[in-house]
Amino acid sequence: MKKLIVLFLGLSTAVSAQNYSELMAKSIMHTHKDSIAVKAGKPAGWDYEQGLVLKALEHVYQRTGDATYFNYIKKNIDSFVDANGNIRTYHFDEFNSDNITTGRMLLYLYQELGDERYKKAADLLRKQISEQPRDADGGFWHKKRYPNQMWLDGLYMLEPFYAEYGQITNQDNWPDIVKQFQLMYKGAIDPKTGLLFHAYDQAKAQPWADKSNGHSPNFWGRSMGWYVMALVDVLDYMPKNHPSRGILIQQLNQLSGAIAKIQDPTSGVWHQLPGYPGKKGNYFEASASNMFVYAFAKGVRKGYLPVSFRKNVERGYAGILKEFITKDAAGYIHLEKTVSVGGLGGVPYRDGSYDYYLSEPLRTDDLKGVGPFILASLEMEIAKELAIGAGKKVVLDYFFNHETKNGNRFHYTWEDRKDSGFNQWGIQFEQLGGTLDTLGVSPTRENLKGASVYIIVDPDSYKETAKPNFMTAKAADEIEAWVKEGGNLILLANDTTNCEIPQFNILAKRFGIEFVAPNLNFVQGRNWEQGAVMIPAGNEVFDPIKKVYIKEITTLKLSGNAKSLVNHLGYPVMATAKVGKGKVFALGDPWLYTEYTNNRRTPLEYENFLAAKKLAIYMLK
């Protein structure tokens, strides 16, 4: 199929009309329609490349709300995991750290769906980590067949799963995780350049290993890419107050600074062998360039790296689009110039020399380049909107709503990734530049100080908890004063049978809003139209959305300066009020929890996912 070069400054209308993350995701799903086959002509197997791309598709789903991506992920993983948690084609006794990577998707599906077979499969991978061979210093062997060797690649393959598994199961794996990064960094660092060699042999026994320090002979671009990606991904799960957090952030800053120095000044991308720019045969390589841009961009967004790295990100991404992206006659984009592999030892023997790294073939749409390209593209797309909520804190009430189930917090929490949680909405706030927080005590002007948005959803009644915290006049005084000073308040009730309404109205009435009967939109089964609510054209919050899904809504009675935002069947169901320097939004339903924003059940004509983002933007501005 003939390919057409797509230039960064001269993009075709077809390409520029959509985000590159979605264009590449759709292209790779078109190529791998049923499952991700890593090796051409061979059946799909449990493989780290598969896991890398599926993780990227998870983030595309979180960004777009298009359940096509979720269904694709689930279909792929379900083709490997049986009812007992066994993983097809996985071999425990290989002790291959590469086999851990795709376990991140097991953890994702388990948290989203609660299906225990995913947890059982993840437990098997955790057991491998427990028994993984280690060198004399305690460092994980990269594979059983590579004794005493730590490779940069292995930190990405194993540590993000190790960290997230610990978070989910309340295991403190951090001492061991940090130790692995410390051993790898110390063992591979070049004190002259600050770059990391591809691997090191703790026993100094391999023919490729320097006999004085165990280093492999060269810096390989993609291996350092794996390492910086491992750092920014592991930090997602590390408690912000963990005493060792600074160790990983320092590593990220030091290594990123060294990598930035070897960025090609003309193209903006990086060479296959960064230590030899301009040497005969050396070339610009796609996977390393994508990995560096992703890690730098995420590092800046999360506050791990200084904003000065943004210029490296922008030059790097522009170079990626110019040097590596092509478009075929059918309109699909492709990633060129990803080196197929890079390793040490083995049969045939790989000596880690300059000539060896240049001998491996280049591939189009190699998954090791595609996954990081999607992730880098997402970071570029998110960056365009970060200014909306920059420096603003979004606080979710955990005091008036503190319902529990089986001893755990339940319903409308940031942490809950199942249908009952606000995890997806929280991601949208974060992608707009906001930071998330919770308030588990009665609100006051003092403890709301610094909050830009405060959300109270579905206050408990005696039906939900034996000792509910009811709204009081004193709490309402504090919240009202905070709003007048510039706070933005979201009030989400529920139908009158599932929410404490009378006390909640103590607060709502302060703003000319009252939750009242009748309840509307009683939906039978999946008769979606019974929950349809039409959004008027030109709506100040939700335009250009036309239709959303809300069931069992408590209607509103309005007075004063409160005004109806959306009417339904002759009743106001959404309202806003400007109060002093702040504003209030009210709706008689929790509405934006994941069940009705993830688009796995509701037809796409109901734009709840976009409505959640539109409301977030309105409250943050």
User: Which residues are annotated as catalytic?
Assistant: 153
Evaluate whether 493 touches 460 at the Cβ level (below 8 Å): no
∠ at Cα 125 (120, 128), nearest 5°? Answer: 130
Read out DSSP for 32-74?
A: SSSS--SSTTS---S-HHHHHHHHHHHHHHHHH--HHHHHHHH
How remote is the C-alpha of 431 from its chain's centroid? 10
Element (H, E) at 542: none
Q: Where are the alpha helices (DSSP H) in 79-151?
A: 103-113, 116-131
Evaluate whether 352 touches 216 at the Cβ level (below 8 Å): yes
- In the 3-class helix/strand/coil scheme, how is 326-359 assigned residue by residue? EEECCCCEEECCEECCCCCECCCCECCCHHHHHH
Non-local CB neighbours of 318 within 8 Å, separated by 6+ positions: 8, 268
User: Could you tell me where the beta strands, DSSP code E, fall in 459-550?
Assistant: 488-492, 513-520, 532-534, 547-549
Type of residue numbered 486:
G
Count CA atoms within 13 Å of residue 178 on its CB side.
Answer: 17
Q: Give the C-alpha separation, 44 to 37, whole Å.
A: 4
Evaluate whether 227 touches 288 at the Cβ level (below 8 Å): no
Backbone torsion region of residue 547, taken as left when φ is above 0, otherwise alpha when ψ lies between -120 and 50, otherwise beta: beta
Element (H, E) at 292: helix 286-302
